[in-house]
Amino acid sequence: MEERPIATVGDFSFGGDGTEGLPLDCGKTLSPVNIRYETLGELNSDRSNAVLILHALTGDAHVAGRYADGSGKDGWWEGMVGPGKPFDTDKYFIVCSNIIGGCAGSTGPSSIDPETGKPYNTRFPVVTIPDIVRAQRRLMEHLEIDRWLAIAGGSMGGMQALQWAVSYPDAVGSVIAIATTARLSPQGIAFDWVGRQAIMGDPKWNGGDYGEDVPEQGLAIARMVGHITYLSDESMHRKFGRRLQERDNYSFDFSRDFQVESYLEHQGRRFVERFDANSYLYISKAMDYFDLSIEGGGDIGKAFASVKSPFIVVSFSSDWLFPPEHSKEIVKALRMNNVEVTYCDIESAYGHDAFLLEMDTLGRLVSGFLSSRGS
């Protein structure tokens, strides 16, 4: 049996104790800030083997591994991170932190607002991908790392990777950008809008002050809409088709008939147990606001003018939420700036979820890319 590496959990706090808080794009300053992070592997003596992995909308710092006491369920990218795996913990020092605005250890809407002594809820400032990356930069300083050997992320994690490359070109050795975009499409914004309306329209949301009685109905709707966009039409055909769930005939009522309905219901219910509804609002909004072209006056090519590090850009053929065209746009913009870039569109039926599922092909690409970076 494959051994899972040991993940070390850390909390890095700043602001509120005389240190500087986190200035945000909205004009406010967040303080204090906690960043929950996990590390795997060992930092080498010249501190040159650190790789930052960035999580997607509902991810967390637990990218892989077990805790020293043996506890810890599978991380969200277990297949990619470990001894001998593409992000090889025998070679690299892996860092993954929960984003600010989240609900898995880092400061977010459910954290205590020092001004009121109560949870921020919707008094939490709206954060952006640049804000999220700015917080990660502070963590990097805290860890006394000057340069990441690589940064890697899929989906919203990829947005953060692009932002890192633009905001801190000297701190980034190389970039692995997977199933992502330089700006969320209007279709993506539309789905996020519907999800937020479902949450905010749930009477239990209560203006964001819901306490224990969470808006589960609204959050489940948001999650179910999300899940449809993570799968492809083809993967749904393969996975569910029109098969019925535990019945031979139509119910002729409004209960579950189809397997795909059962799947969505299950995903919605499970999500409510682990994710904060307000965090969903904040993080989806951060995705909507992400538009790197703004930094280039509307031109993504110009936005990448400062980028120095080599890239690998990966898309998946059936991903319609972050379609290959968006990756190609990134590649084109990088090439305009003479950045060394490898692009691969992986043939896959899994849709956007492929970045969590196509471990073999993706793994080979990442291994090769990282090896070529040296350590």
**Among 33, 220, 307, 341, which residue interacts with its own copies (rule: CB under 8 A)?**
220
Among 129, 198, 214, 312, binds its own copies (CB under 8 A): 198
Burial (CB < 10 A; 0-12, 13-18, 19+), residue 244, is middle
| Stretch of residues binding its own copies (CB under 8 A), selected from 38-46, 104-112, 161-169, 227-235 | 227-235
What residue ranges in the chain does DSSP mark as E strands? 8-14, 22-23, 29-30, 33-40, 50-54, 81-82, 87-88, 93-97, 112-113, 118-119, 150-154, 175-178, 311-316, 341-346
In the list 7, 103, 260, 277, the residue contacting its own copies (rule: CB under 8 A) is 260
- Among 13, 31, 217, 317, which residue interacts with its own copies (rule: CB under 8 A)? 217
Q: Which is nearer to its own copies, 34 or 128 (CB)?
A: 128
Q: Give residue for tokens 């991170």.
A: 81
Nearer Cβ to its own copies (63/221): 221
Judged by CB under 8 A, the residue of 42, 190, 347, 368 near its own copies is 190
> Any contact of residue 339 with its own copies (CB under 8 A)?
no
Least distance between its own copies and beta carbon 220 (Å)? 8
DSSP state at residue 351: G
State yes or no: is 62 an active-site residue.
no
Is there binding between residue 250 and its own copies (CB under 8 A)?
yes
Neighbour-count burial of 203, counting CB atoms closer than 10 A to its CB (0-12 exposed, 13-18 middle, 19+ buried): exposed
Residues 339 and 116 sit within 8 Å (Cβ to Cβ):
no
Other CB atoms within 10 A of residue 333 CB: 24
Residues 266-305 contacting its own copies, CB under 8 A: 268, 281, 285, 288-289, 291
Q: Does 244 bind its own copies (CB under 8 A)?
A: no
Comparing CA positions, the residue from 10, 11, 9, 12 lying closest to residue 72 is 9
Per-residue contact string for residues 31-60; x = within reach of its own copies by CB under 8 A: ------------------------------
> What's the CA gap between 296 and 17, in Å, rounded?
36
- Write the interaction track for its own copies spanning residues 113-152; mark x where CB under 8 A is met and - where it is not: ---------x--xx--------------------------
Rounded CA-CA distance 252/246 in Å is 15
User: Among 84, 114, 201, 368, which residue sits at the site for its own copies (rule: CB under 8 A)?
Assistant: 201
155 classed as catalytic: yes
**Closest among 96, 92, 94, 81 to 3, alpha carbons compared:** 81
What are the distances in angstroms from CA 132 to CA 83, 150, 256?
29, 18, 39
Given 106, 155, 235, 327, which residue is catalytic? 155
Q: Which residues pair with 151 in a beta bridge?
A: 52, 175
| Binding span for its own copies by CB under 8 A among 67-75, 137-145, 146-154, 248-256 | 248-256
352 is catalytic: yes
Q: Which of 269, 259, 265 is nearest to 235 (CA)?
A: 259
Judge whether 262 and 239 are in contact, CB under 8 Å.
no
The encoded tokens of residue 346 equal 């992986």
Structure tokens at 200: 């905010």
Q: How far apart are CA 114 and CA 164, in angstroms?
A: 29
Out of 194, 305, 336, 339, point to the residue binding its own copies (CB under 8 A): 194
Site for its own copies in 59-78 (CB under 8 A): none
* 248 part of the interface to its own copies, by CB under 8 A: no
Site size toward its own copies, by CB under 8 A: 56
Shortest Å, Cβ 122 to its own copies: 7
Q: Spot the catalytic one: 279, 319, 326, 353.
A: 319
Q: Which two tokens stand for residue 308?
A: 């120095």
CA angle, residues 48, 57, 126, in degrees to nearest 5: 100
Chain positions contacting its own copies, by CB under 8 A: 25-27, 122, 125-126, 183-187, 189-191, 193-194, 196-198, 200-203, 217-218, 220-221, 224-225, 228, 231, 233, 236-237, 239-242, 250, 252-254, 257-258, 260-261, 264-265, 268, 281, 285, 288-289, 291, 320, 323
Query: Mind telling me the catalytic residues?
Result: 155, 319, 352
